[in-house]
Amino acid sequence: MMTQVEPSRSPAACKRRPHALVIGGGFGGLAAAIRLGARGYRVTVVEKRAAAGGRAYVYRQDGFTFDAGPTIVTAPFLFEELWALCGRDMADDIELRPMSPFYRIRFADGACFNYSGDMAAMRAEVARFSPQDVDGFTRFMEKSREICRIGFEELGDVPFSSPLDMARIAGDLIRLQGYRSVYALVSQFLRDERLRTVFSFHPLLIGGNPFRASAIYCLIAALEKRWGVHFAMGGTGSLVKGLVDLIESQGGEIRCEAEVGSIIVEKSVAKGVRLASGERIASDIVVSNADSAWTYRYLLAPSSRRRWTDRKLDRASYSMGLFLWYFGTRRRYEDVAHHTILLGPRYRELLKDIFERKTLADDFSLYLHRPTATDPTLAPPGCDAFYVLSPVPNLEGGQDWTALAERYRQRIEQTLEETVLPGLASEIVTSRVATPLHFESELNAFRGAAFGLEPILTQSAWFR
């Protein structure tokens, strides 16, 4: 636990404090800034865009508020800790509303599974689909709890800076079957293919393929059950605003529209950054919350990189891309849950198309977010705000999204209209889209990969 340091407010004292510079105003960068401020650093966050948030940017359009990316909080205590470091109570600034169900999962045939943290309700849902899998579900959750206890609670904040660190956890990794994929581990406990899908999709939330991501990520099921799935009232942007306020209360500074052109390195030590404008900002330490591959490829000069870095970046596996459509309707769809996952007719083969073949398939699976189910203030009275997300290949697939975007949006609109949003086309009053090109140009995501490096075992912990 980090000790809180009360920063001095006098200009002279501020100048004497060591200076930390954080690249990127996403959640990771803002959290790092707060922790550094609590350690006594004078902190400057430099952010490329017009406001902080990163992937949690906020769009306001025609009276609607759209969270650009993250929509749920699954470990509230990690945010509460940041407020505590500043001597404040998060509950005074942020209201987190628990979700029930966490998600509604709709299969291509129209069958729905309500996924929640209520074990009795979950056993009943499992029994509706496959009575013979109820015992297997219970055993899977026990396994998930064990993985969460070790993989998250004990090792989640442990640095892996050498091969010895990996060697120390090798026994746990083998015992927890971390060498298997999430789907393979789930399949040991559940026989019904629909239930295997329900309990293996979670790696997609962090950019991973359930058929490739380490079974360690099965911890997410237990993590959600223990701490719940929450929505921040006012939208995820309210959390961003709260974190910015904390940084400023520490005497830190957020500089927006300040894109970093390069990290200044002298004698193998980061000494600050040079902005794209040419301005140089000196600092004692530099923390990059920018995309890791982008940081190494574009922010560090070749002389500051190891000779094999570029080769490793080129050979690495990256997460999928995302197509997002934000839209508002003039009516409310009261039967639609806050979180709905609409599964297409294929699971394994669709993910192969996205992650391996990198082809844009004719079918898709969708995540539909309706925040106004919980917070109606995010849209004008009587209206609904939505965004729908479709996993797609990253830019390695070579798709021309400038030509494809509108046709792809229309295909999604038709699917939503035929399934959960009847009459949608005639109800839309505002709309915008984001493609992998947006992630590359606006968020500096290498190859347009929405989540950076793919979370597979050989790219995790020390290997990362």
Query: What pLDDT, on the 0 to 100 scale, is given for residue 3?
Result: 40
Cα 133 from chain centroid (whole Å): 31
Sequence-ordered list of residues with C-beta below 8 angstroms from that of 82, at least 6 positions apart, any chain: 31, 34, 35, 90, 243, 246
Query: What pLDDT, on the 0 to 100 scale, is given for residue 5?
Result: 44
CA–CA distance, 433 with 430 (Å, rounded to integer): 11
* Residue pair 105/198 in contact by the 8 Å Cβ criterion: yes
38: closest CA among 2, 73, 70? 2
Structure tokens at 40: 């006594």
Structure tokens at 457: 């075992």
CA distances 113 to 50, 61, 122, 129, 392, Å, are 40, 33, 9, 9, 24
The neighbouring-strand residues paired with 415 are none
* Residue pair 79/217 in contact by the 8 Å Cβ criterion: no
- Side by side, the strands of the sheet bearing 366-369 are 112-115, 103-106, 339-342, 366-369, 384-392, 321-329, 428-434
Query: What pLDDT, on the 0 to 100 scale, is given for residue 161?
Result: 76
* Cβ burial 311-347 (10 Å sphere, 16+ → b, else e): eebeebbbbbbbbbbbbbbeebbeebbbbbbbbbeeb
CA–CA distance, 405 with 353 (Å, rounded to integer): 18
CA–CA distance, 40 with 3 (Å, rounded to integer): 10
pLDDT tens-digit series, residues 23-57: 999 999 999 999 999 999 999 999 999 999 999 99
Query: What pLDDT, on the 0 to 100 scale, is given for residue 4?
Result: 45
Element spanning 21, H or E: strand 19-23
CA–CA distance, 40 with 76 (Å, rounded to integer): 25
CA–CA distance, 366 with 360 (Å, rounded to integer): 14
Sequence-ordered list of residues with C-beta below 8 angstroms from that of 103, at least 6 positions apart, any chain: 115, 229, 337, 339, 340, 341
CA–CA distance, 103 with 343 (Å, rounded to integer): 12
pTM of the model: 0.92
159: closest CA among 461, 464, 463? 461
Query: What pLDDT, on the 0 to 100 scale, is given for residue 153?
Result: 79
DSSP 182-223: HHHHHHHH---HHHHHHTT-GGGGGT--TTTSBGGGGHHHHH
The neighbouring-strand residues paired with 272 are 264, 282
Query: How many other C-beta atoms lie within 10 A of the C-beta of residue 84?
Result: 16
pLDDT tens-digit series, residues 94-144: 999 999 999 999 999 999 999 999 999 999 999 999 999 999 999 999 999
CA–CA distance, 350 with 397 (Å, rounded to integer): 14
Sequence-ordered list of residues with C-beta below 8 angstroms from that of 60, at least 6 positions apart, any chain: 66
Q: Beta 321-329 vs 428-434: how paired, if at all?
A: antiparallel
Flag residues of the chain having pLDDT under 70.
1-15, 155, 160, 164-167, 170, 461-464
Query: What pLDDT, on the 0 to 100 scale, is given for residue 66?
Result: 98
